[in-house]
């Protein structure tokens, strides 16, 4: 066995029981490890990490040394072969792993650079998270006010910007793995902050709608609290598992919507309209249109809604001096109908979900 291989095996055994600070020598060790793996296997093996970024620190590393919190450590996962380093932080009485790229962030800051080490320490510190959460809560209070306090918005935007800059210096921006924008939880923060700068000094205009992105700041708590992040990840995972079930449900919905479209298209616009007086002579088409579209000539029920009718056998017939005509809009301000495929899908969905389904049933049942 060569000296390099013996050193590699010794380091691997030590890593199972303790953590080692990340230094310039750590990069040399990583390069030697890479050369060793290529020499043995002929390629750079890629294996799924056993400890993901943001996971709880495994028990074999407990008790964790107090003086190592917030400091760059050599990679503790033997299945990761990228140039990375770890940082362990305590949050809500648990130790969590944060993984960073071992390359220069923003092409300027090495992992051992004082500025980056400070940013890494701040970004992984639990009190930094508490300050951000408190800022979010105060921001929600100001968002609930009827009048916007622009000065407060500038202060909150500055705080969020400082948070983003600290994380970008600590992690890097985009190019490497484990950088700021490689984490989907940071996408919302980046969009909210950049849109905040786009609305500075804007009073009117098409871009004024970007101010609504401010309400999304409350969702920043999801990326800070590990418990909420776990719940959201579980929900997203369950949605992927339900994809086939949702496809079958939508297919069945489309079938029933097409059936309802063929049977009830235009039927919900039929209303009982008072007949034109018999003493009228030479009634023009324009006069007739004005008469039938006059809502005062329609028949109403006890709820002051137009009485629906039909001209088919078994349908509700209009009383004496009234005739069933297709006039006016559909019920519920035009939302309940089967006149085209999309409206039929919406109404059929209402029936399937049993959301006030008896109202639609009474309409089509006449």
For the domain that residue 183 is a member of, what is the CATH number?
Answer: 1.20.120.350
Least confident segment among 80-94, 159-173, 217-231, 283-297 = 217-231
Q: Which domain holds residue 317?
A: 245-365
* Residue 353: predicted pLDDT: 92
* Residue 10: predicted pLDDT: 42
Same domain, 152 and 229: yes
Same domain, 84 and 39: yes
Q: What is the pLDDT of residues 1-28, one digit of tens each?
A: 444 454 444 444 444 457 777 777 776 6
- Give 83 or 170, the one with higher predicted confidence: 170
Is 275 domain-assigned? yes
Is 308 domain-assigned? yes
Same domain, 137 and 57: no
Same domain, 89 and 140: no
Is 39 domain-assigned? yes
Same domain, 91 and 166: no
Is 119 domain-assigned? no
Is 114 domain-assigned? no
Is 120 domain-assigned? no
**Banded model confidence at residue 280, pLDDT cuts 50, 70, 90:** confident
Same domain, 268 and 321: yes
Q: What is the pLDDT of residues 143-152, one digit of tens each?
A: 888 777 778 8
Is 121 domain-assigned? no
Same domain, 36 and 16: yes
| Averaged pLDDT for residues 159-174 | 91
* Residue 36: predicted pLDDT: 65
Q: How many CB atoms lie within 10 A of CB 278?
A: 7
Q: Are 227 and 234 in contact (CB under 8 A)?
A: no
Is 122 domain-assigned? no
> Highest-confidence range of 26-30, 69-73, 344-348, by mean pLDDT?
344-348
| Averaged pLDDT for residues 25-54 | 65
Q: What is the pLDDT of residues 292-336, one digit of tens each?
A: 999 999 999 888 999 998 888 778 889 988 999 999 999 998 999
* Residue 3: predicted pLDDT: 46
Q: Kindly list the strands in the beta sheet with 94-101, ordered across the sheet, starting from the edge strand earlier in the chain.
A: 73-74, 84-91, 94-101
Same domain, 212 and 287: no
* pLDDT at position 117 over 80: yes
Q: Give the CA angle between residues 142, 146, 150 to the nearest 5°.
A: 50
Angstrom distance (rounded) from CA 294 to CA 271: 12
Q: What is the mean pLDDT of the chain?
A: 81
Block residue for tokens 């310039």: 24
Same domain, 249 and 360: yes
Tell me which of 223, 239, 255 is where a domain ends.
Answer: 239
Angstrom distance (rounded) from CA 113 to CA 127: 23
Q: How many CB atoms lie within 10 A of CB 253?
A: 16
Same domain, 187 and 90: no
| Averaged pLDDT for residues 72-87 | 77
* Residue 33: predicted pLDDT: 67
Tell me which of 221, 239, 257 is where a domain ends.
Answer: 239
Same domain, 20 and 104: yes
Overall domain count for the chain: 3
| Averaged pLDDT for residues 81-106 | 83
Same domain, 52 and 88: yes
**Banded model confidence at residue 258, pLDDT cuts 50, 70, 90:** very high
* pLDDT at position 287 over 70: yes
Angstrom distance (rounded) from CA 127 to CA 124: 9
């Amino acid at each position: 066995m060569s000296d390099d291989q013996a050193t590699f095996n010794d380091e691997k055994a030590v890593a199972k029981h303790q953590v080692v600070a990340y230094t310039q020598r750590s990069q040399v060790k990583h390069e030697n490890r890479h050369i060793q793996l290529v020499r043995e296997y002929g390629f750079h093996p890629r294996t799924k990490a056993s400890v993901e970024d943001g996971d709880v620190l495994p028990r074999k590393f407990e008790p964790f040394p107090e003086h190592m919190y917030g400091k760059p450590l050599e990679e503790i996962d033997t299945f990761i072969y990228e140039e990375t380093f770890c940082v362990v932080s305590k949050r809500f009485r648990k130790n969590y792993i944060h993984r960073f790229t071992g390359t220069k962030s923003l092409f300027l800051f090495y992992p051992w650079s004082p500025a980056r080490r400070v940013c890494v320490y701040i970004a992984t510190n639990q009190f930094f998270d508490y300050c951000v959460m408190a800022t979010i809560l105060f921001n929600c209070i100001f968002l609930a006010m009827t009048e916007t306090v622009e000065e407060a918005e500038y202060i909150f935007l500055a705080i969020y910007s400082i948070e983003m800059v600290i994380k970008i210096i600590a992690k890097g921006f985009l190019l490497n793995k484990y950088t700021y924008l490689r984490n989907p939880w940071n996408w919302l923060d980046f969009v909210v902050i950049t849109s905040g700068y786009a609305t500075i000094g804007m009073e009117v205009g098409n871009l004024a709608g970007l101010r609504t992105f401010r309400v999304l700041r409350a969702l920043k708590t999801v990326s800070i609290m590990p418990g909420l992040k776990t719940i959201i990840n579980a929900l997203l995972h369950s949605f992927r598992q339900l994809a086939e079930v949702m496809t079958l449900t939508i297919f069945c919905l489309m079938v029933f919507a097409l059936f309802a479209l063929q049977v009830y298209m235009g039927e919900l616009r039929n209303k009982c309209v008072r007949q034109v007086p018999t003493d009228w002579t030479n009634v023009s088409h324009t006069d007739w249109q004005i008469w039938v579209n006059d809502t005062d000539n329609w028949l109403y029920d006890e709820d002051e809604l137009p009485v629906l009718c039909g001209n088919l056998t078994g349908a509700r017939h209009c009383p004496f001096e009234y005739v069933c005509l297709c006039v006016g809009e559909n019920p519920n301000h035009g939302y309940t109908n089967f006149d085209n495929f999309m409206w039929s899908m919406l109404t059929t969905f209402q029936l399937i979900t049993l959301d006030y389904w008896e109202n639609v049933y009474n309409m089509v049942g006449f």
